[in-house]
Chain A
């Protein structure tokens, strides 16, 4: 299972890539493996206000559906345009082409609170296996 060092994580299996005041968000390799083949993603539309810890979308797979929890407060600026056409990108490249949406952070260039480090996330998933 891959847990890239340069990302932050949530206990609900999202990853967050922070670049200046914007966060790019997706679901982790662990999550996509647990879900199975992803067939449909509902991400919050650009302009939506999102609140950390609240469900803001869903990932539908062959066997189940899971909420996406927003990792930080802010406003959605962009949704991955490829995902609607090819939701399998979430499985094949969860940290790259399978990203889901971007959020302009209310915390500005400060790290939003409550995120997990790669080591903390690795420990969390080890406990769940």
Chain B
């Protein structure tokens, strides 16, 4: 193994903060990231009941600017970027010509001719290259600004209350999937009401040098309300409970948005052509061969990524993500099943026998349940 093949992981502007907190650090998509600070289950529960603070500075930030930015993104992505109002954001995908998912993205329209595209760390380079190529000749410039941004998320039912005391803007005016330039603890940020936990919460894009002071200010403001730092382990179990896909698990080059039950992000009737349109149009009207479903384990053994799913004793699919759910108190999993098996399990009813996960050689009974596993209580 040479250094060239295996470069040292990149450090976020907050890596030293995590180390000082005693975090267990892990390599993730080429970055050194906090996996957990103490108990990941306690971090998970804190986000559900109070609030958690996350370092997401590994995410890719790509700026798309110019008179043709809206048109270029309409062509490059499955969603209709031109229909996003300035100050709003959308969840969308970038697909290959055959309809396979290259990444799932959040696109923020910052101004008429300025978009911020947030990509998964593992795909940021691919997305940057694809966007650059697809924008070429369309009057738009794509710039990889990942190194210019730190990203801090504060998530949980008490996130708004903690943040409100530190900012000059009224958070009541910041709707879900909206973003505003704001000052938080005296630092300039782009404040967005987005997240990946199933809770209310905010993501703060800021200059790298402002990340540590912001983290400290949020930590202090949150000390009374129960804010804790939360690592990637909690982030993964939170998003799984919320039924949100993870690229590399539920999404990949071999999966179309329709397979993942996310056909709603494909805007087939937007004006003009877009990459993958023909293939995706065909997929939208075809019967899906596989279906993404939710499973709960009926024993305490946990279905994990890659484990076979059995319907009436026969393999019918595979688990994409699985974990013990702190909120439900039992194992949960997402899995791709053949359409026939999913329909069979559905028709047989929620308590039907016949569905199982092969957990290291033993068939453990499972139930098919609607996604998401967890939905936050409605605002009162």
Contacts and interface: CB of A to CB of B under 8 A. Distances in A.
A36 B233 contact: yes
A60 B302 contact: yes
B40 A60 contact: no
Contacts of B252: none
A62 B40 contact: yes
B301 A36 contact: no
Given A33-B24, A39-B324, A62 B304 contact: no
A98 to B, nearest CB: 14
Contacts of A60: 300-302, 324
A91 interface: yes
Contact of A62 (B233, B301, B360): B233
Interface string B273-306: 0000000000000000000000000001110100
Chain B residues touching A, range:
10 to 19
Contacts, number: 39
Contacts of B304: 64-65
Contacts of B233: 36, 62-63
Interface string A23-46: 000000000010011011010000
Contacts of B324: 39-40, 60, 62
B92 interface: no
A37 to B, nearest CB: 5
B300 A62 contact: no
A60 B324 CA distance: 9
A62 B323 contact: yes
Contacts of B24: 33, 36
Interface string A57-73: 01010111100000000
Nearest to B41: A37
A36 B324 CA distance: 12
Contacts of B36: 36
Contacts of A65: 301-302, 304, 360
Contact of A37 (B39, B236, B360): B39
Nearest to A92: B39
Contacts of B237: 62
Nearest to B237: A62
Contacts of A58: 360
B300 A36 contact: no
Interface in B310-359: 323-324
Interface in B24-52: 24, 35-36, 39-41
B39 A40 contact: no
Contacts of B41: 37, 62
B324 to A, nearest CB: 4
A101 B366 CA distance: 29
Given A33-B24, A62-B323, A40 B40 contact: no
A40 B323 contact: no
A49 B42 CA distance: 38
Contacts of B39: 36-37, 91
Nearest to B36: A36
Contacts of B323: 62-63
Contacts of A63: 40, 233, 236, 323
Given A33-B24, A60-B324, A62-B323, A39 B40 contact: no
B297 to A, nearest CB: 10
Nearest to A64: B304
A60 B236 CA distance: 17
A41 to B, nearest CB: 9
Nearest to B359: A65
A65 B302 CA distance: 8
B40 A37 contact: yes
A40 B303 CA distance: 13
A65 B307 CA distance: 13
Contacts of A39: 300, 302, 324
Contacts of B301: 40, 42, 60, 65
A37 B41 CA distance: 7
22 contacts: A33-B24, A36-B24, A36-B40, A36-B233, A37-B39, A37-B41, A39-B302, A39-B324, A40-B301, A40-B324, A58-B360, A60-B300, A60-B324, A62-B233, A62-B237, A62-B323, A63-B40, A63-B236, A63-B323, A64-B304, A65-B301, A65-B360
Interface of A: 33, 36-37, 39-40, 42, 58, 60, 62-65, 91
Top 4 A-B pairs, shortest CB-CB distance: A40-B300, A39-B324, A37-B41, A37-B39
Given A58-B360, A60-B324, 9 more contacts: A33-B24, A40-B302, A42-B301, A60-B300, A60-B301, A62-B40, A62-B237, A62-B324, A63-B40
